[in-house]
């Protein structure tokens, strides 16, 4: 099986995830500013989750482009990632409905941590196919470090949300997507 079928399946699942998430947003019932203000937190949660899923999707497309052969380990690692991504709409809705209560923010952070770990597993599986390619192996190693850093940030967000500061947890949720928009060092600079 080629990567095209895996990419198409994954794209379809991610499209459904994004669709479910936007359907969770409820339009204001009235045309006044107060009704619009009530939509502020769910809308911000949606924007944050959309950015997170978009980043996973972009990186997912990139890593699938590196797959040399689709085998069981690639399929299961990919399905594991898609499973955890599919729970993002639930965690996003929970955070919005609870008005960002500490437990809901911690659950969101934990889900992103598990999703990041799942992406790391997929990267590890694909990286094994490139052990003989020195340049790709070095690039995977660089990205493993970034993946591990992001995973640590998400793990830290859980106790922050529960015991210290929801704002600090949200800072991490915003910081991580920002890290992916910063330009990365090129291989030649390493």
pLDDT of residue 183: 55
Phi, psi dihedral angles at 73 (to 5 degrees): -65, -35
CA distance 62 to 129: 15
pLDDT of 185 strictly over 70: no
pTM for this predicted structure: 0.87
Q: pLDDT digit string (tens) for 104-141?
A: 999 999 999 999 999 999 998 888 887 777 777 777 77
Give mean pLDDT, residues 50-73: 85
Q: 53: buried, middle or exposed (CB in 10 Å: 19+, 13-18, 0-12)?
A: buried
Domain parsing of the chain, residue ranges = 3-24+40-183
pLDDT of 190 strictly over 60: no
Tokens of 67: 């797959």
pLDDT of 22 strictly over 80: yes
Residue located via tokens 């999707």: 57
Lowest-confidence region among 13-17, 59-63, 82-86, 89-93: 59-63
């Amino acid at each position: 099986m080629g990567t095209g079928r895996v990419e198409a399946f994954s794209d379809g699942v991610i499209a459904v995830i994004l669709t479910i998430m936007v359907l969770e947003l409820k339009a204001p019932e009235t045309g006044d500013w107060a009704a619009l203000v009530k939509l502020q937190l769910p809308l911000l949660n949606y924007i944050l989750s959309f950015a997170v899923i978009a980043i996973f999707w972009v990186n997912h497309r990139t890593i699938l482009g590196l797959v040399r052969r689709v085998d069981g380990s690639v399929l299961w690692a990919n399905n594991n990632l898609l499973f955890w991504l599919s729970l993002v709409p639930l965690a996003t809705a929970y955070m919005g409905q609870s008005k960002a209560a500490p437990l809901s923010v911690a659950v969101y952070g934990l889900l992103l941590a598990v999703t990041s770990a799942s992406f790391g597993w997929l990267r590890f599986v694909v990286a094994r196919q490139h052990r003989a390619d020195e340049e790709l192996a070095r690039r995977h190693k660089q990205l493993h470090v970034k993946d591990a850093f992001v995973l640590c940030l998400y793990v830290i967000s859980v106790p922050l949300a529960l015991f210290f500061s929801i704002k600090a947890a949200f800072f991490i949720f915003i910081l991580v997507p920002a890290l992916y928009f910063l330009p990365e060092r090129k291989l030649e600079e390493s």
